[in-house]
Amino acid sequence: MALSDLQPVRRNEEGIAAVLGVLKQRFGERFQTGQSVREQHAHTTTYIPNQPPDGVVWPESTEEVQEVVRACAAHRVPVIAFGTGSSLEGHVNAPGGGISLDTGRMARVVEVNADDLDCTVEPGVTREDLNRYLRDTGLFFPIDPGANASLGGMAATRASGTNAVRYGTMRENVLSLTAVMANGETVVTGRRAKKSSAGYDLTRLIVGSEGTLGIITALTLRLQGIPQAISGGVCPFPTLEAASRAVIQTIQMGIPVARIELVNALQMRAMKNYSKLDYPESPCLFVEFHGSDAGVAEQAEMFGMIAEENGGGPFLWTTVAEERAKLWKARHDAYWASLTLRPGAKGLSTDVCVPISRLAECVAETEADIAEMGLIAPIVGHAGDGNFHTLALMDPDDPAEIALVETFVARLNERAVAMDGTCTGEHGIGQGKAGFLPREMGHGVDVMRQIKTALDPDNILNPGKIWPMVE
């Protein structure tokens, strides 16, 4: 389904005007309606059109979030939570106008319980901020989506990233949430205990709900001990299939790999040119191991043998922090490197996830589509999870190119679902993938609608996301 097929959210002009007056009087300079600031709080990261809110407010506490939500609820006006704006599927757009609630001033680390390996933070704390705060404790928060996203936004979109193969996603690393619901009431979804069988799992209902069920105002997170030693490196392979076989065998042998990232030949070319890497322009795996000095050396050697058995190598690895940092900086800069393949173009970044046994097949068929359609679209993936991303480069002012790329994305999503995978492993549904959710979830979408209707009967929390709106 193309974005043009999504039904718009009806604007409530009278209600919006009333809420603008209420919030301006209550929040003063912490409420803004200027055009530029409103556009900054709508979608900016891919080709999805920018749909700005009517105003932006910066609350500083859960109580102030409640005030904003209650004002919007009283006048049936949309309210859209905003973290750093790094999401990729139109999550922060305001298709029906309304209020953007920026959590940037709710950025305190409330407490760290080092003995229990957990912490509580406000939603505006970013992952890099948290890890800087934790540096002297010997602990770190492992979820790394690449962008320096806010932790509230990461929970709302069920983010993950390069470390997920070892440490899981936000789903596994959020112990409890405080959230303001559509009626302005606050709910605490759990305690700091590492497990519970008490009632419904409200934490995981809110995690991944993309701001449509509640606005997160506090999170209690699992932490990990900083490893004694880390080893990592890059290993080239003759084919994607060979690289994928090496991934499967590494996982099956129980090697505790922390990161194992796949890049195809085109992506490697872009990364070589942009980040000045000295590796072949072939499919490569970026690999990292965490543990003791002896452990990471043994793990690296075992992986090297697996790679060699599959025609890969040499696997050049290091424990030197500066050298590893250069490699992972290049991996995280893959987006910017890809843009150099077609200067002036804009990228549509999309992702899917399949069982790892189908990864090579799915990537190969995707590369065939790219060649058939004449696109420039490098591929990078979290191979240990079967998750990969493509960045299709296009002219956003050319309707024919947009239509071609949307056709490519539709084929990719259908292929992943047909392989018993998902149309998104990380990015979420938002607006961009709303048309593909029914194909994947079937009648499960009806259950989701029932939950949404029960918790937000007036549809004020981030309307127009996850599924096409029907009014």
Q: Are 215 and 461 in contact (CB under 8 A)?
A: yes
Tokens of 134: 């934790």
d(CA 383, CA 264): 11
For the stretch 20-27, contacts whose Cβ atoms lie closer than 8 Å and that sit 24 or more positions apart, written own/partner, are 20/54, 20/55, 22/71, 23/55, 23/57, 23/68, 23/71, 23/99, 24/55, 26/67, 26/71, 27/57, 27/58, 27/59, 27/64
Position 467 confidence tier, pLDDT thresholds 50, 70, 90:
confident
Better pLDDT: 120 or 6 = 120
> What is the DSSP pairing of strand 109-113 with strand 118-121?
antiparallel
Distance CA 132, CA 207 (A): 24
In whole angstroms, give the CA distance from residue 4 to residue 430: 14
**Dist CA 352 CA 373 (whole Å):** 19
At 46-93, the pLDDT tens digits run 778 899 999 999 999 999 999 999 999 999 999 999 999 999 899 999
Tokens 């619901």 found at: 181
* CATH class for the region spanning 229-333: alpha beta
- Degrees, nearest 5: CA angle 294-250-278: 80
DSSP one-letter string for 434-457: GGGHHHHHTTHHHHHHHHHHHH-T
Residue range(s) in the chain whose domain bears CATH number 3.30.70.2190: 229-333
Please tell me which residue, 469 or 384, carries the higher pLDDT value: 384
| H or E element in which residue 105 lies | none
CATH classification number, 11-104, choose in 3.40.50.300, 3.40.50.720, 3.30.43.10, 3.30.70.1140: 3.30.43.10
Tokens 């793990």 sit at which residue?
A: 299
Q: Among residues 24, 20, 106, 16, which one has the least CA distance to residue 65? A: 106
Q: Which fold has domain 109-225?
A: 3.30.465
Q: Could you count the other beta carbons within 10 Å of the beta carbon of residue 63?
A: 11
- By C-alpha distance, which of 380, 371, 102 is closest to 234? 380
C-alpha torsion sign, points 52, 55, 58, 61: negative
Give the Cα separation of 212 and 156 in Å (integer). Answer: 9
Q: Does the domain spanning 336-441 belong to CATH 3.30.70.2740?
A: yes
Is residue 92 a contact partner of residue 79, using CB atoms and an 8 Å limit? no
DSSP element (H, E) containing 254? none
Asked if residues 280 and 236 have their Cβ atoms less than 8 Å apart, the reply is yes
- Report the C-alpha gap between 426 and 295 in whole angstroms: 30
Mean pLDDT of the 274-288 span = 92
What are the tokens at 146? 């690449």
Query: How does 100-128 read in b/e, with b if 16+ C-beta sit within 10 Å?
Result: bbbbbebbebeebeeeeebbbbbbbbbbe
pLDDT 10s digits, 354-404 = 999 999 999 999 999 999 999 999 999 999 999 999 999 999 889 999 999
According to the model, what pLDDT value does residue 321 have?
Answer: 87
Q: How far is CA 368 from CA 334, 364, 365, 373, in A?
A: 21, 6, 5, 9
Q: What is the pLDDT of residues 162-207, one digit of tens each?
A: 889 999 999 999 999 999 999 999 999 999 999 999 999 999 999 9
What is the rounded distance in angstroms from the CA atom of residue 30 to the CA atom of residue 60?
10
Separation between Cα atoms, residue 466 and residue 190, nearest integer Å:
25
**Cα within 13 Å of Cα(311), Cβ side:** 11
Read off the pLDDT of residues 131-162 as tens digits, 9 standing for 90 and up: 999 999 999 999 998 889 999 999 999 999 88
Around Cβ 404, how many Cβ atoms within 10 Å?
A: 16
**Tell me: the pLDDT tens digits for 204-257?**
999 999 999 999 999 999 999 999 999 999 999 999 999 999 999 999 999 999
Query: Alpha helix (H) ranges present in 212-358?
Result: 240-252, 265-275, 293-309, 321-332, 334-339
CA distance 377 to 364: 13
Quick check: 319 pLDDT over 90?
no
| Residue 300 three-state SS | helix
Give the span between the Cα atoms of 95 and 149, in whole angstroms: 23
Considering the chain, tell me which residue range(s) the CATH 3.30.465.10 domain(s) occupy.
109-225
CA distances (Å), origin 397, targets 88, 95, 394, 400: 19, 21, 9, 9
For CATH 3.30.43.10, list the domain ranges present in the chain: 11-104
Q: Report DSSP state, residue 341.
A: T
Share of the chain above pLDDT 70, in %: 98
Give the per-residue pLDDT at 318. Answer: 87
What the block records as the tokens of 334 is 């893959």
Mean pLDDT of all residues in 22-27: 98
- The mean pLDDT value of the chain amounts to 93
User: For position 471, what pLDDT does the model report?
Assistant: 45
| pLDDT, tens only, 399-442 | 999 999 999 999 999 999 999 999 999 999 999 999 899 999 99
Neighbours of 10 (CB within 10 A): 13
